[in-house]
Structure 1
Amino acid sequence: MVEVECPSCTKTVDLGSDSKGTYECPYCHEDFEYESNIKNHLKNNQSQFGYMMHGVKKVTKPFAGYYRLGVLRDYNEEEKEQFTEEKTSFLEYVLLPILFIFLIPSILSSIVMKLIQRWTYKLGGHPSKMLTEVDHLYIHPDGRVIVPLNDLAPFRFNIEKKMRIETHYYNGKWSSVSILKGRKCYFSLGDLPRIETYEPLWPASDREEIYQFLRRFNLKESEKRTSHSPN
């Protein structure tokens, strides 16, 4: 006997077997995907050994009852130090100040723009697309969404029928998935930072798991394709 929790109504369902497949909940009659305990066990082991996992996972904290989509674990402090460690050299000490001088105008412009966007959001405005570019977020089965915005208060909204799911492809490669309403972007979920010259780090199977979760809200879907042509 295998018992799992239905992702739609959160009731316990007896599957009767440990086989991967699509099952119908006898309570809410919604279909859901199930992976065998073997695969789940492998996922847990990979997470413990530090591999970055993506997909969908129900959480108990910080938002009980919500599902985390995207990157399923945060970096710890040691990993942050490992990823941000920089090798200093004489060339860096010489070249960086020179480059900084030439980049001052664009740097200042970027700083001012970011400050304006942050203050607009703090004053109650809709967050800019730059602020809502995230590698994970939280969605409740009833449509409530929490988008973490680093040191700002999380952006909260409810999924509505007028919204749509948009997939962004850059140079033919998957870049992100977003929820939009009109021209407003409510979140853009994908790799951070958006280094769009590389292959996506998220496996196709993990991305599909995210799409299956989003499709339960029966939103329209669209695609956006952009490209960069070298000079």
Structure 2
Amino acid sequence: MTGRLTGKIALITGATGGIGSATAELFAREGADLIVTDLAEDALRELAARLAATGAEVFTARLDVSSAESWHEVIERTRQRFGRLDVLVNVAGIVDWPGVEGTTQESWDRVIAVNQTGTWLGMKAAMPLLRASGRASIINTSSVLGLVGSGAAAAYQASKGAVRLLSKTAAVEYATQGIRVNSVHPGVIATPMIQDILDEEGDQQPDIVRTPMRRAGHPGEIAAAMLFLAGDESSFVTGTELVVDGGLTAH
């Protein structure tokens, strides 16, 4: 099956990262027109060039997801260009590894601002354009660490747990307004965010050892989950968690 997103307009945050770029590339191949956003403008231009080769209409926008003003500017540009928005994919995120006592106030505030507040600001800003679609989908990126504890990464886990429940409450609020909201929960995925750890520890990385499939996932495997939730095949799916973790949380 091809063309699963033909005619749809999708906005992706964190689009130059491992999961973000894989999602953008898959969406473009499946027929979507795209607004790709990030803070890294040079990387955005490189991504846009790759996406344009698929025939998709693409425009780039620098976006600080923790800023309401930045979100307003990007959504206004989207309104002027397309007049509506069908899919919002909140991928942008940062991680900090210390536990409760090791986490600084500055780091806590930054992680929460990007991962949690940024997701809320995006939904809030985009909602009028999503409502105009009539068949819209919001996909918020949480984590397996938004489902279970690890004894570390206190700020990251707090933010990802919040994303999970924020997605659920938004799903209930907008269920009769033509807007579905779901969260995706990746396990250990080979992205730049954790590549140094994977390079150092390899298959002996503790979370990989605990993963029944005994490997890290690939960004494209998360993108495939995003595609399902973005398309009309998931028209009766809202308020759920799609866990893509090789079985890590199964035991």
TM bucket (normalised to shorter chain) is under 0.3
Whose RCO is larger (CA < 8 A, sep 6+)? 2
Higher strand fraction (1 or 2): 1
Q: Which has the larger radius of gyration?
A: 1
TM-score w.r.t. length of structure 2: 0.24
